[in-house]
Amino acid sequence: MESVERRAFKQAIFAVRDEEAALDIVQDAMLKLAEKYGDRPDDEYPMLFQRILQNTIRDYYRRSKVRSMWTTLLSAFTPDDEDDYDPLETLAADEDETGPRTPESKLQQAQTLNLIDDEIKKLPARQREAFLMRYWEDMDVAETAAAMGCSEGSVKTHCSRATHALAAALSARGIKL
Amino acid sequence: MNEERYAYRIRQALNFGLKDVPPAATRRLEAARHLALAKQKQAVPQMVPATAGAPSFWSGSRAIYAKQTLAALALLLGMWISFYWHSVQYVNELEQVDSALLTDELPPDAFLDNDFFEWLKDDSSAE
């Protein structure tokens, strides 16, 4: 359970790039799963949870879009979250939170992980969803398609494109996996 | 590039990064999990007929409705048969009375005559 909720938290961070919002999203998704689908068979939980999680993330986007529209109307000085996003800031913030690790190898490892996180965040939303569900959540193509509400062919295409995009971006940044 | 293998390596890196989730976030996730478990919807126990056996066409909620409908139809059919049977018997009895009346020597008008009943009484008392 712990690893599931941590993965969900990271998925939400990849999508919304805000830790507090990500925590709210995971909490909402957990509550919705428990309240509405708590009586379902255990093997349906991963797919249902992913579906709820992605829907909650989309709801967050919608709400923040409406909120930013109103704040833009009310104040011209309010910065737009998405346009002003700087991956380097996140990278620095992440390093501050985890704290500098003394051995050089660990630092390099952390930087590599941050770069991978960074590139995953940059993927188009549907590709990221498909890639993470398929390869991180270990869901098969049919389950991923059911959770995403699309065809199995689309899942395969999204996964393939995401993998190629990640490979190209990471090798451009000098990371060989 | 082998996609699966590359994705597997990214997965390993992502799993490795999970331990860097801040403790405050971990605590909040744990609290959220406990809250969700406390509010978990429980499966509602359903009434199952004693005849329910292995899963077949006659299992599930649809089958229960079908059985109820069939029982109601059977009851209606039984009531109709009973009503029909009684009405046929009643008509037969009337037929017997009518035929006895018509085959008798007495004319049917005699039964409508009050004097006739008086005569019958007298006749029976005479015997």
ipTM, 2 decimals? Answer: 0.71
Specify the number of domains making up chain B: 2
Compute the Cα dihedral for A26, A31, A33, A39 and give only its sign.
positive
Altogether, the residues listed in chain B come to a count of: 127
What 3-state class would DSSP assign to B32? Answer: helix
* CA max distance for chain A: 51
Q: Which among A2, A10, A163 has the least Cβ separation from residue B6?
A: A163
Contact B84, B90 (CB under 8 A): no
Residue B23, chain A, CB below 8 Å: the answer is no
Distance between CA atoms of residues A46 and A139, nearest Å: 8
> Looking at residue B56, what is its pLDDT?
53
Q: pLDDT value at position A41?
A: 83
Residue B62 lies in a domain: no
Distance (Å) of CA A115 to CA A76, A92, A166, B21, B88: 33, 11, 10, 16, 93
For residue B81, tell me if it sits in a domain: yes
B44 in any annotated domain: no
Examine residue B45 and state whether it is found in any structural domain, yes or no: no
3-state secondary structure of A1: coil
Domain, as residue range, for B30: 1-39
Question: Number of A:B CB contacts under 8 A?
Answer: 110
User: Is residue B46 in some structural domain?
Assistant: no
In a domain, B58, yes or no: no
Q: How far apart are CA A120 and CA A91, in angstroms?
A: 13
* pTM metric for this prediction: 0.57
B55 occurs within a structural domain: no
Contacts of A117 in chain B (CB under 8 A): 14, 17
Q: What are the pLDDT tens digits along chain A (177 aa)?
A: 778 888 999 889 888 888 899 999 999 999 999 988 888 888 888 889 989 999 999 899 888 888 877 777 776 655 544 444 444 444 444 444 445 455 777 788 888 888 998 899 999 999 999 999 999 998 999 999 998 999 999 999 999 999 999 999 988 888 777
Reduce the DSSP state of residue B57 to 3 states and report it.
coil
Residues in A lying within 8 Å of B, measured between beta carbons: 1-3, 5-7, 9-10, 19, 23, 26-27, 30-31, 33-39, 94, 97-98, 109-110, 112-113, 116-117, 120, 131, 134-136, 159-160, 163-164, 166-167, 177
| Inter-chain residue contact B7 with A131, CB threshold 8 Å | yes
Within a domain: B18: yes
